[in-house]
Structures are given as C-alpha cells and as structure tokens.
Amino acid sequence: MARNTPETAGDSVEESAKPDRSTQAKAAVTVVRTRVAQVVWVLCVAAAVVLAAGALCIALKANPDNALVKLILQTADKLDLGVFSRGKDGVAHFKGHTHEALTKNALVNWGLAAVVWLVVGRVLERIIRN
C-alpha cells in the first residue's frame, strides 16, 4: 500500500489550488464585461443629466448666448432622439410661445427622455454584465 506522505500530499494540493486556463479566461471575460457594462451605464446617466440640465436651463431662462448653455441645449436636442423633442414632434406639446409653455415642453419631453435613457442604460448594463 502506498502511503500519503506530506511531500506527495502537498503536491496535489498545490496543483488543485492553481486555477486552470478556462477559469482564468472566464474571470478575464467577467472583468471585461463588468467594465463595459459600467461604461454603458455611465454614458446613459450622462445623457440623462444633460437632458435634465437642458430642461433646467429652459426653466430658469438661462442666457441662450452663453456658450455652455448653448452646448447643453444643442446636446440635449440631439439626445432626445427626435421622439422627445421640445417642438411639435415631441410626446407632449403645450401650445403657445410663452415661457410657461416652453418650460412645460422642455420639462415633460426631456424629463421623459432622461427616464428612458436611465431605463435603457440599466437594462443594457444588466444584459452586458450577465
């Protein structure tokens, strides 16, 4: 009968403790998927923040000649994807050219667009991660 000496028993423990290549590959894929999911989530949150900032600029009557305000409004116009635009093509359209109507259009349409960006971002993040 062969006896397990401490020397031979230690060898089998060391070999089983080493992760094999497939385990390492799975771990690397998991890390990459997690990072990509985080990037997608951060981009969607950034889009929602820009839309919210654009609506806030409209509501607070920010100076449209200011370069930062202009950048935020132009970016928000692109991020609304045309479905949630402030004009007649938006989901909700309040008639009139008063500040109240413009504010309502911006808050409702861009607010909905921000929510959509957050929901889509969270769903994509979960799909990519898993």
Please give the pLDDT value at position 81.
Answer: 84
Shortest CA distance to 40 belongs to which of 127, 125, 129, 130? Answer: 125
3 state SS of 119: helix
pTM for the complete prediction?
0.76
**pLDDT over 80 at 29, yes or no:** yes
Residues 60-90 have pLDDT tens digits of: 999 999 999 999 999 999 998 888 777 767 6
- In this prediction, residue 98 has a pLDDT band, given cuts at 50, 70 and 90, of confident
The residue written with tokens 């994807």 in the block is 81
**pLDDT over 80 at 53, yes or no:** yes
Q: Is 86 in contact with 110 (CB distance < 8 Å)?
A: yes
